[in-house]
Amino acid sequence: MEKNKLELYNSKEEYLKDLEKRGKLPEGFKTSVVSLEFFPAERPVEKPLPMKLSLLMLDKPTSVFGAVFTRNKCPGAPVIIGKERLLSDKVRGVIINNKISNVCTETGVKDSNMLLEHLAKETGCLPQEFFPSSTGIIGWQLPVKDMVQNIPRLVSALAPGTGVNLAEGIMTTDTFPKLRSAEVGDGCIVAVAKGAGMIEPNMATMLSFIMTDISMERDIIRDILKRVVEKTYNSISVDGDQSTSDTVIIMSSCEKKKVSEKEFEDALYKVCLDLSVDIVRNSEGCGHVVKASVTGASDFETARNIGKAIVNSPLVSTAIFGNDPNVGRLLSSIGDYAGNNNIELNKDKISISLGGDIVFEKGAFRLDQEKELRLVHYLKSRVLDSDHKTFPEHNYTVNIDVNLGMSSGNGNATVFGSDLSYGYVRENADYRS
């Protein structure tokens, strides 16, 4: 995997300035975000709760669009409707709300459709030309009346510019907005994402909206999206909980010339990979981003699953949070997964490195006092502020490299995860408080 450019930020303003530079919308797109307040029907509160409504809209309908959704068997209403939208001839955009994810309520689908009907009326479009998307608390109903009242204001605020407002508008427990872009041919790809907890893709409590002005055939862009998602959004994990609402949507205005399929896929992969790691970096209570690269596996799935077994291990992730290079836990998590999934492993052929230092090879650990001290220093040098600043301080990762040494070992994968901190427990214990 290519080495990422070093990114260092000293303030929220510095980070947002960088987002503005990279976030200019592709030709043919506009966005808007409005704030509102509501009282939830399910719980008494002294003060109204905040919500943001966001709109991503094309100047003209497009037939070049695609989407990938969660595999959770109890999906939210927007996912149910979104899957139907994939059969539409053309679409115009997406309306997104944060705070409430609209999952499995009695009126969930009806509520989303009502929003789309009012949006269609306000924009002069058809309801089926829009995707709905929701993120937030599972189990509560949308405050539809409050949301409908704000749709005219949302539509009138549509404007070209950057996608930073959209990246900020879709945040829930995220502490900083996430936006990435890449130039392709005469055009570009710009994408935003949100996600901080319940991260176990297929995909993760995450939403991602991808905009491009590059011309492309519909079937091709959908195939590319699926391939890219598998190696990016579906290769991150924070807590092993797969959300009910995960959604990735791509749309093209087709305002720019076509490029080769490979050129487009390479650019989209880079954009989505960077966003995926941004999600992990902003995960609840994250103190280290962990990068587990697995080679020498029988296939991609085995490599990725071993990588996830490492980053999802509570023993591994808590040790990393404590800057403790307890590397025995790495081998244990690998053997645990293999033993419970009937995967043949020869420990004499496995090698494991942490931060470039070999800690296990030829069937035995390779440790000494000097190396232990070096590994502690390495982990400390990768620390993020786990109390969560409003910007990412850096893009360092804790690098774990594993070669399984299988005889048919052409499978490889890279998985990103986070450590497990006090902050994660606090955030999820007090999520609705």
Are 185 and 213 within 8 A, CB to CB? no
From 56, 140, 130, 54, select the one nearest 98 (Cα to Cα).
54
Q: Give the separation between CA 275 and CA 248, rounded to whole angstroms.
A: 12
402 bridge partner residues: 294, 352
Give, as one character, the DSSP assignment of residue 68: E
Strand duo 398-403 + 289-297: pairing: parallel
Catalytic residue among 31, 123, 173, 205: 205
Both tokens of 217, joined, read: 């055939």
65 bridge partner residues: 251
| Strand ranges (E), 244-387 | 247-256, 289-297, 351-354, 357-361, 364-365
Rounded (5°) CA angle 90-189-195: 90
Q: What is the DSSP string of 27-55?
A: TTEEEEEEEEEE--SSS--SSPEEEEEEE
Q: Give the separation between CA 414 and CA 397, rounded to whole angstroms.
A: 12
Strand duo 357-361 + 351-354: pairing: antiparallel
Cα 249 to the center of its chain, rounded Å: 12
CA-based torsion, 36, 39, 43, 47: positive or negative = positive
Give the dihedral of Cα atoms 253, 257, 259, 263; nearest 10 deg. Answer: -60
390 catalytic, yes or no? no
From 239, 159, 162, 231, select the one nearest 200 (Cα to Cα).
239
Both tokens of 284, joined, read: 């609840």
Q: Which residues contact 97 (CB under 8 A, 6 or more apart)?
A: 51, 52, 53, 54, 133, 134, 135, 136, 142, 147
- Residues recognised as catalytic: 205
